[in-house]
Amino acid sequence: MNTEIEGVILAGGKSKRMGTNKSLIKLNTKPLIQHVYARLIDQVSHVTINTNQPISTFPENIQFQDRILNNPGPLAGIQAGLFYAKKSWVQFCPNDSPFLPINLVEKLSFYIKDKGPTIILPSLFDRLEPVFILCHRSLLKNLEDFISAGGRKMELWIKENNYKAVNFSDPKAFVNINTHSELSKIEKENK
């Protein structure tokens, strides 16, 4: 566990493709967000949840809403997470990725250095995994300016900053579940 890094689960999306709150969809009898929480909690000092719909299975005092209401997607959750952060570094993870690596924070935080990158994120087969960023709180104003200027693409914002991509090799590690058919497929593969 890294006590200098806190975790934020991004669960503020609209879940349009799923048709209902993805956080509460069950994978093998357990809500998706519970899978993510269980894999993240032992890697960080504490976990909070960015959600615009309260999740009754978690205490209210660890949940917070977006602060920007014009729906800039996951960037709104990251902005709110950085705003409320108590630590200098925040590990973000989406609520729909039940197989996130149990060594995610360890691998990414290895690259925290004085005057080093302010964003560290996984890469899988040369593809960035932007919603799994380890981000320094000092980027709050930078992100707010990006959003105010109309920016909505996470990868574009990341590439405008000092970032480091860290290679991972497990193809399941960053799988996210957006539809009922994806959920069914993953359930069959994991029986």
Indicate if the pLDDT at residue 100 is higher than 80: yes
Mean pLDDT across the stretch 105-114? Answer: 92
The stretch 113-137 carries a mean pLDDT of 93
pLDDT at 73: 80
Enumerate domains of the chain plus CATH numbers.
5-189 (3.90.550.10)
State the average pLDDT over residues 110-126. 92
Block residue for tokens 């964003």: 119
User: What's the chain's average pLDDT?
Assistant: 88
Dihedral sign of CA atoms 24, 26, 27, 29 in order: positive
- Nearest-Å Rg of the Cα atoms of the chain is 16
How many CB atoms within 10 Å of residue 94? 23
Question: Does residue 18 or residue 163 have the better pLDDT?
Answer: 163
How many angstroms separate the most distant Cα atoms in the chain?
46
Average pLDDT for residues 114-133, to the nearest whole number?
Answer: 93
pLDDT tens-digit series, residues 18-72? 455 677 677 688 888 899 999 999 999 999 999 988 888 898 999 988 888 776 6
Give the pLDDT of residue 116. 87
Q: What mean pLDDT comes out for the span 177-182?
A: 73
Closest CA to 93 of 152, 32, 142: 32
143 sits in which H/E element: helix 140-148
pLDDT level of residue 130 (50, 70, 90 thresholds): very high
* DSSP element (H, E) containing 108: helix 104-109
Does residue 184 register a pLDDT over 80?
Answer: no
**Does the pLDDT at position 145 exceed 90?**
yes
Question: Residue 17 pLDDT more than 60?
Answer: no
Which of 13-21's residues contact partners 24+ apart within 8 Å by CB, and which partners? Answer: 13/73, 13/74, 13/95, 17/178, 17/179, 18/177, 18/178, 18/179, 18/180, 19/180, 21/53, 21/55
Give dist(CA 151, CA 146) in Å, integer: 5
Residue 110 has pLDDT above 90, yes or no: yes
What pLDDT was estimated at residue 18? 47
CA distance 2 to 164: 19
